[in-house]
Structure 1
Amino acid sequence: MEPKGWRLTQRIDEGPAVGARAPRFLLGFFQRGSTAVRLRGFCVVRCLSILAVTALLVIVLTVGAFFAALARGPIASDWLAPKIVEALDDLYVHRYQFGISSVAIASTDHGLTFTVNGLAVKSGERTILAAPRAQLSVDPRALLIGRLTPRRLDVLDLELRLEVLPDGVVAISAPGADPVAIPLDAPSPAEPAAEAQAAPVIPSLRQAAGALRAVMNFIVDPESPVAAIDKIGVSNARLVIDDRTLDKTIVYDDLTLSFDKIAGARRLRLGATGSTGHVGAEVEAKGGLGERRTLDARLHSLSMEEIALAAGARTLPFDTDAPLSLDLHFALAGDGRVVEASGKFSVGEGFFRLEEPDAEPFMLQELSISGRWDIERRLLAIEPVEIRTSVARLSFKGALTPPAEGTGVVALSFDLARPGAFLPTRHGEAPLVVENAGLTATLDLLAKKYKVERVFLDGPEVHATASLDVDGAQPDGTHLKYAIHATQTPLRSVLRIWPTQVAAPTRMWMDEHITAGVMRSGTLTADLDQQAMTAGRYERPPPDAALRGDFDLDNATLIDAVPGLWPINGMNGHIALTGRTVSFVATSGVMESAPGRRLAITEGVFRAPSLGFDPAPAWIELKLAGGVEAVADILSLKSVAPAASLPMDANQLKGQIEGKLRIDFELGLAAKEEHTRIAVDAETSNLTMERFIGKERLEGAALRLVSDREGLRVTGAGRVFGAPVTLDLRRAAGEKGQAQAQLSLSLDDAARVRAGYGFTGVSGVVGVQVQTRLPIEDSESQFEIDFSKAALDHPLPGVTKPLGKPGRASFTLVKRPDGSALEQLQAEAGPQQFSGVVELGRDGVLRSAKLSQAKLSPGDDMRLEVTRGGDALKLVVRGANIDARPLLRFLSQPAAEQSAAAVAGKPPNSDDFDLDLKSPIVTGHGKQILSNVDLRFERRGGKPRQLSLTGNFGREPFAAMLTRHPSGAPQIDLSTSDGGAFLSFLDLYHRMESGALSATLLLNPGRSDGTMRIQDFYLQNEPAIRQLVMQGAARTDDKGAAHFDPDSVKFARVQSAFTWANGRLTMRDAVMSGTEIGLTVDGYIDLARDRIDVSGSFVPAYGLNNLVSNIPVIGFMLAGGQHEGVFAVSFRVSGAFSAPVLTVNPLSVIAPGLLRKVFGVIDGTGTGRLPESAPAPR
């Protein structure tokens, strides 16, 4: 069936020739041989000639008038409309019905032309063409005989609309014409089963040549439908293409179409202006039947949208904005043989992108493919193929062998025409030179199997081969297999020739994370079915078994294995990948986070077990050995720190570490940092951590660090303050920030001094256990102190404990904005117990303390409050019962020669304080009780400023107050009516009863000098008195009556000068006398060392015996001194104070005073070691 409208001008040249029959008509009126008749005929001829001339003149004038009128403008000639319709109808053999609304005659470049308005063409009841305006040129020779023969038809101002509907139907419409629907994907008519199963037929070369001959014959054959046409044209038309499948509209303006006959050729031209510019096509055919014929076709400035539309394809597998051009040339011999065939396809400058989610676009500079038919070899020689893009510069030559008769196998081969290169994609990269490359392929068009047997690239830095197999005849769709192999090729070169859409997730990861290295050997294979390939278009990974890759790497560099991680250099390892997994196993590598901070990686593993998901899980595990500073840098990374959350500042760590580090994280745009997990199992050696406790650092630590799903655990030992410390740190899984730590320290004397806790009176090893949240400065800490291996000798007044006895203290150290506090303080050492709260300032100085319980002895009931006012501490002590013996023992101790503070280079503690103590009962030695005690004491500048002490020994009052010596030194005045109780209270002497005591004590630096006087007292059961009495005189007279009882001796007075220094009481010129006996004493009692060494004279019958001593000169010669007698016994008490030894010189009984002194010098009973003199008290 012929296309509608095709034969509009087919019969324009088919009119009858009538001119030849006119002479015969005129001659029929005359007969031969008749003269009269001839004369009459002559007249008739003459008349007719005149008539003809007249008619001709009228015609000329009429024609002249017509053209004169035509020169002024078109001449309306609607009366010709039926004639034109009749001529067109005759031309197309009444196949179509033509309609014209109006006709005008005009003169144009093409001669006399009929301008037709409202041209309509119908086929049956349907309008197939409706043009607002058209121009029809006719044959002027035929017009002279009154016949209209069209020779040229130009349709003007035509608007054609083409709509591609979503159901695949193309609707063509024009104004005034009925729309035509053409289904592009119409199903073929039902065929018999046998025919339906018949194999497709591939056109052979003979068929292709026949088709080419048919086309050329149609154009040049005089008998063809277009042979009689001079020109058919469309001008100033508009084409609108509305593609509703893509929701896109394409408009072409200035559409021109012309088909011309020129001398020896036929030419078809098409041109239009679209969105991409001017589009044109030209086809020219030359020659005639039986001679050489040529066909040249050229299309230029086409876009892919236009090609897709022309091909009826809704979508293409790629997208580009580059202009496309096609040049074709064919030549046929006179016998119809194809003697020449060549062509060139070229793509201009623009971008190019495959319609694959992972394909990266690139810029095209030039792509051209030229080919020619080689008659002798019967193949298509393709040379050259020029590729110039932003990623490559390559030139190929090859050949395509068409299928043989009855087969569908096409052979294709390409080789590199000259060395080419892949261009660098990153700054600093060099071009990848390709010296040799090639491709060999077999395409079975009948079986739909396409196989690339071998593709290879070879150059200085690339050695790769590949193969590909596509099977399109599988029941479940197309199958794709490929294999890529590379050897001794730099990794960056591999990635530059690796298509971005092939194993895209793996390639992307390698491109982003491996910046250097050599692929010693690598293989990538794939077996993908239609479902897997479709999934790839939607960025879903193929099945795990569909893809397999194995790559051996040397000296690779891995970057950003974890976001922000420093490069790992010198890695040797193996990459294994599947459709959904990728892993990298390294056997060596080095990471350096900063100069000198190196980590040697003896083993390393990276795995991403579920690629294709967003986010995709991944993990990296490294076996490390090196500086802990580098590991600290890793744990400080922004991407790792939230998950690591070390309880200390990683920058304060130094030392060596060896172990495993595992980091679980996520890949992809939806990856979240909070899902990062860190696992560590490592051991450190020679670890140093700054500011471990305060400003003190941890040194020489050997720690085991484990961080896993159960939490963080750090155990080990080191040294702090120069002493050993064990560390046990734990933090539960899911927690961040601080970690619970337990520190166990063993602090000897030197360590305590270094730590600033070198208290006087503490010796030995003190165990300290701290439970805290690191860092210590920012959290509460539980302290447990063990004094069992330490001795306490009055670190606080009255607190003592021997070595080996239990002793402990515990408290909670709480940090506050203005300092710290020791809360829940509990301390005990034997009977000594303390509990309460102590508050310290920011500098560690005591600010206040409140001890709800303070016991120095089991029976104590005492409370203590300490507050700081200005530069002094105020101590308020309240108690119901206070045992003063521990304090008295403290006062009896010698002063330390050098305090721990002085050893540590610190000034001695000289806090000023005020003491306010009140207690109804204060118990001392010898079961003595000082009741109703009221003590007020002030010290400033290390010296006492005020003392006021009152109380009672039974009913006898006791008082002590601070006065001033004339020298300005402070002096304490004591007085009591029960001196025996006072001396027993102080544990100075326990065998005295009663006695009015008065004493003065001059306080000097390091010592106290004073005098004491006691009157009217008794000595009860004094062994020394009893022994002296036995040595010196009988206790009965001649009648047996007792002179006195040695177990209860009354004395009238005792007086002595003394010095107290370092727990040692030194007596000078001590005299004790009564009516029965008297004593003189000189020497010392060292309470601190439990020693005594005193000597003197025992004078019996003192009242009578001493009378001579008052006589000048004679008294000294006979009595030996003012307080001695004529008869006396020299004695010495020495040894332990708790078990003294009395030594008596029996000769001294019979020796007078001066001689007795001489004997005392010889045997030591008369000498006492006296201290240096001191100013006499007031």
Structure 2
Amino acid sequence: TLNPRGLYSQPQVFAGVTVDFRLQPNPFRFQLGEMLVEHEGRQIRLNGKFETGPEGWEYALDARSDHLDLAQVKSLWPTGAAEKPRQWVLQNVFQAQAQDVNFALRGKGRAKPFYALDANFTNAEVKFQKHMPRVTGGAGHFSLYNTRMVVVAAAGTVTADEGGAVQVAGTSFIIPDTSVRDGAPGIARVVAEGSVTAGLSLLNRPPLSILDKAHLPVDLAQGRVHVVGTLALPLKPQVAPEDIKYHYRGTVSEVRSATLVPNHVVAAPVLALRGDQGRVALSGAGSLSGIPVTANWSQAVGRQASPASRVTGEIEISPKAIDTLQIGLPKGTVAGQGQGSYQLDIVPEQPPQLQFTSDLAGVDLRIPQISWRKPPASRGQLDMDVTLATPVKVDRLRLQAPGLQAEGWVTTKESGGLQQAHLSAVSVGNWMQGAVNFIGLRNGLAEIQVTSGTLDLQKAPFSGESGSSTGNGSGGSAPSGPITMQLERLRVTESIALTGFEGRFSTQGGLNGQFTGNLNGATLVSGVVVPKPGGIATRIRADDAGGVFKAAGILRHGEGGSFDMTLIPAKEPGEYDGEIQIKNTRIKNAPSMAALLNAISVIGLVDELSGGGILFTGVEAKFRLGSTHLTLHESSAVGPSMGLSMDGIYELDSGTLNMRGVISPIYIINAIGRVVSRKGEGLFGFAFRLRGSADDPKVSVNPLSALAPGMFREIFRGKAPTVPGAPEEETQPPPAHLHSNTGGER
């Protein structure tokens, strides 16, 4: 038995000891050539020397063995020799086989001895951190260089609570200074490879508990992870989480998660992983339910960390993306392909919040109901705040694109598709401003409700031909739901508008429907619109024809009568060809009519005009309505007292006339010549001209025309007036001997 200086708690039994030495008496030196010790079937070879020197005894001892098991290492490691590494081995290494063991000891006088120990090991079972599972099947190298201890694993696995084994080849554990008495720092340099679930399961162990603190499951994602990191912690019985410092980086491949974004599958071929004691992050390119995305996910960790996490990146804008994310836009609204930037905030037990923005480059946007389109080559700006619940809700939507601006919110159905889109502020081109609702219908279409605002029909690019495309339009034949409108003002021309407008329309084959409104804020009218080549044809009716003319600023002295007018788009933009039919209206106190009747000296009719008014049982007219003028092509007005035909120009902005026509007094008798004259003219009539202000016109009458039957009256009628600026032609000037009602020539 041998137990020098009581270094061992139990006596060590050696099968045999062979010593080869040399002794030198002065100065004293003991040279140990070789000492061969057999211990439990293993051989240990030692050599060294002892000698005296100026500082006292000097010694050097080397030992080596080809093979030792763990029990031998523990029993041969003497008490007090590198005590802290010895204690770490005793407490954390449960099984191992050592090969190529080398030990060195050097000392001089009273100085602390230097020692070194290194060995390879196999079949090791090691606890490298008290909160982590043991490493099994470990193989590698152990070294102790005075106060620095290093264990390097060339092989080994750690079996996680979930997800299987993690390979730890390349992992090392280091105690930089074993001489530190309390809380000596320990450093683990980890190289690990395994399943994502296994890696997250290890990170979820105390004291880190990363996933529990984030309220996320350890099976958050499927895939393989390769990570390299460093873990530093004090070696003491009780370690607080804030005392642990770590950082890591790696890659995650073949990623798939149905948990990270609720109701969607996140997948990626490779993601970059990084983290430390304050944050964990994943980033890379992949897909969200098949939609191409880039993602940067980060989650704060630590005792005081918020459980919220965030994903930022870019996502494709395409019809597939709109359908997959159940944004609720009607079919055909989005075509083409673009990119948008997003920020997704994930809070446990709350629906994820998405912020989205894009310049819409490459995206083809269409709203066929209003003939609007943003081509892929143009840019715009789209901003959305979305709640990714079931159903999805767009809490804020803001769109700016050429010809369209809109702000509002959108709700969707639980089964997908649009429930309602409320746009509180919409501006379309230079022809529409207001508030609009889109209501989702069962067949995938949407009803449009314009609840306020103004609309200018002169500038609206509605298509009048089924399947055609006008302006920026996308074609009037696109499927559409009904359109209801409540507008403060609907502008028809520069001088004609409908206020308090209400209507219901369809866009199947072009805009068509019915409406009501107050003409220029005064007379109530109702109408019907139908598509025609070049625009929209309109039929307008009213129970007060006089009120219609007053409101339109055309004739301010009419009263009563039924009104029926049709407007058809002309070839010139913003102009309409129209026809009017009026029944039982009266003209009262009309200066132009009074001047005309005075000119032909029909006293009874003048009195009738200033009294109850002249009754016209039927009025018909064909005209061209422009933005600033009305061109009367052909018109007639007949009643018991008189008949009238007229054509010419009326300036809408200035109220000036340039008209010609024929007046036939006592039309009920004079109408016997109707077969040889224009409608509204009798056998005998007076040709006249009206010029100037409608309230104070200048009248020219040719009395000779009364001597010509209707069939010859064109000789005296003259050419019809033309639009201002065009040359005016007359067959002959009025006779010089006729005087006007103002005292001048007639």
Structure ranking higher on relative contact order (CA contacts 8 Å, 6+ apart): 2
Q: Does 1:756 align with 2:326?
A: yes
Partners of 1:688 and 1:959 lie apart in 2 by 61
Work out the number of aligned pairs and report it: 546
Q: CA deviation at 1:584?
A: 1.8
The answer on whether the counterparts of 2:310 and 2:343 sit within 8 Å (CA) in structure 1 is yes
Q: 1:1047 to 1:834 in 2, by over 3 A?
A: same
In the other structure, the counterpart of 2:233 is 665
The answer on whether the counterparts of 1:615 and 1:670 sit within 8 Å (CA) in structure 2 is no
In the other structure, the counterpart of 2:379 is 806
Letter in 2 for 1:878: S
Q: CA deviation at 1:716?
A: 1.7
Letter in 1 for 2:451: V
Pick the aligned partner of 2:129 from 542, 562, 566: 562
RMSD (CA atoms): 5.7
Q: 1:997 to 1:442 in 2, by over 3 A?
A: farther
Q: Does 1:932 align with 2:499?
A: yes
1:697-721 C-alpha deviation (Å, 9 max, x unpaired): 1123322223369966543211222
Pick the aligned partner of 1:791 from 364, 369, 379: 364
Pick the aligned partner of 1:485 from 64, 82, 90: 64
Partners of 1:736 and 1:952 lie apart in 2 by 62
Q: CA deviation at 1:783?
A: 0.8
Pick the aligned partner of 1:992 from 577, 580, 590: 577
In the other structure, the counterpart of 1:1170 is none
Pick the aligned partner of 1:515 from 94, 116, 126: 94
In the other structure, the counterpart of 2:195 is 627
Alignment of 1:1131-1142 (within 5 A): none
Pick the aligned partner of 2:40 from 421, 446, 459: 459
Secondary structure in 2 matching 1:682: strand
1:1116-1168 C-alpha deviation (Å, 9 max, x unpaired): xxxxxxxxxxxxxxxxxxxxxxxxxxxxxxxxxxxxxxxxxxxxxxxxxxxxx
Partners of 1:688 and 1:811 lie apart in 2 by 27
The answer on whether the counterparts of 2:270 and 2:284 sit within 8 Å (CA) in structure 1 is yes
Q: 1:990 to 1:766 in 2, by over 3 A?
A: same
Pick the aligned partner of 2:254 from 670, 677, 686: 686
In the other structure, the counterpart of 1:71 is none
In the other structure, the counterpart of 2:727 is none
The answer on whether the counterparts of 1:644 and 1:677 sit within 8 Å (CA) in structure 2 is no
Secondary structure in 2 matching 1:696: coil
1:837-866 C-alpha deviation (Å, 9 max, x unpaired): 567899999898775522123354424689
1:444-486 C-alpha deviation (Å, 9 max, x unpaired): 99999999984734334x4445579888x88878877654433
Partners of 1:647 and 1:662 lie apart in 2 by 25
Q: Which runs of 5+ in 1 are unaligned?
A: 1-351, 363-390, 396-415, 417-434, 534-541, 898-909, 940-945, 962-972, 999-1013, 1023-1045, 1053-1074, 1076-1101, 1105-1178
Partners of 2:17 and 2:111 lie apart in 1 by 30
Q: 1:948 to 1:923 in 2, by over 3 A?
A: closer
In the other structure, the counterpart of 2:451 is 877
Q: CA deviation at 1:1020?
A: 4.3
1:1093-1133 C-alpha deviation (Å, 9 max, x unpaired): xxxxxxxxx999xxxxxxxxxxxxxxxxxxxxxxxxxxxxx
The answer on whether the counterparts of 1:980 and 1:991 sit within 8 Å (CA) in structure 2 is no
Q: Which runs of 5+ in 2 are unaligned?
A: 441-445, 465-472, 507-512, 529-538, 546-562, 584-617, 638-644, 646-673, 677-746
In the other structure, the counterpart of 2:407 is 835
Pick the aligned partner of 2:219 from 651, 657, 668: 651
Q: Normalising to structure 2: TM-score of the pair? A: 0.58
Partners of 1:624 and 1:712 lie apart in 2 by 16
Q: 1:737 to 1:595 in 2, by over 3 A?
A: closer
The answer on whether the counterparts of 2:462 and 2:476 sit within 8 Å (CA) in structure 1 is no
Secondary structure in 1 matching 2:73: helix
In the other structure, the counterpart of 2:696 is none
Letter in 2 for 1:746: E
Q: 1:440 to 1:806 in 2, by over 3 A?
A: same
Q: 1:874 to 1:476 in 2, by over 3 A?
A: farther
Letter in 2 for 1:526: L
Greater share of helix: 1
Q: Does 1:501 align with 2:80?
A: yes
Letter in 1 for 2:318: D
Q: CA deviation at 1:619?
A: 2.2
Q: 1:747 to 1:617 in 2, by over 3 A?
A: same
Alignment of 1:410-489 (within 5 A): 416=14, 454=35, 456-460=37-41, 462-465=42-45, 483-489=62-68
Q: CA deviation at 1:632?
A: 2.2
Letter in 2 for 1:610: D
Q: 1:621 to 1:858 in 2, by over 3 A?
A: farther
Q: 1:726 to 1:567 in 2, by over 3 A?
A: same
In the other structure, the counterpart of 1:608 is 175
Partners of 1:661 and 1:795 lie apart in 2 by 57
The answer on whether the counterparts of 1:834 and 1:854 sit within 8 Å (CA) in structure 2 is yes
Q: Does 1:617 align with 2:190?
A: no
In the other structure, the counterpart of 1:581 is 148
In the other structure, the counterpart of 2:339 is 767
Percent identity over paired residues: 15
Q: 1:600 to 1:646 in 2, by over 3 A?
A: farther
Q: 1:923 to 1:506 in 2, by over 3 A?
A: farther
1:1019-1071 C-alpha deviation (Å, 9 max, x unpaired): 6499xxxxxxxxxxxxxxxxxxxxxxx9946699xxxxxxxxxxxxxxxxxxx
Pick the aligned partner of 1:741 from 276, 293, 311: 311
Q: 1:683 to 1:709 in 2, by over 3 A?
A: same
Q: 1:1049 to 1:847 in 2, by over 3 A?
A: same
In the other structure, the counterpart of 1:1062 is none
Q: Normalising to structure 1: TM-score of the pair? A: 0.39
The answer on whether the counterparts of 1:1020 and 1:1049 sit within 8 Å (CA) in structure 2 is no
Partners of 2:354 and 2:110 lie apart in 1 by 64
1:628-670 C-alpha deviation (Å, 9 max, x unpaired): 3332223222234459987965422212233423323332235
Partners of 2:66 and 2:623 lie apart in 1 by 115
Alignment of 1:364-379 (within 5 A): none
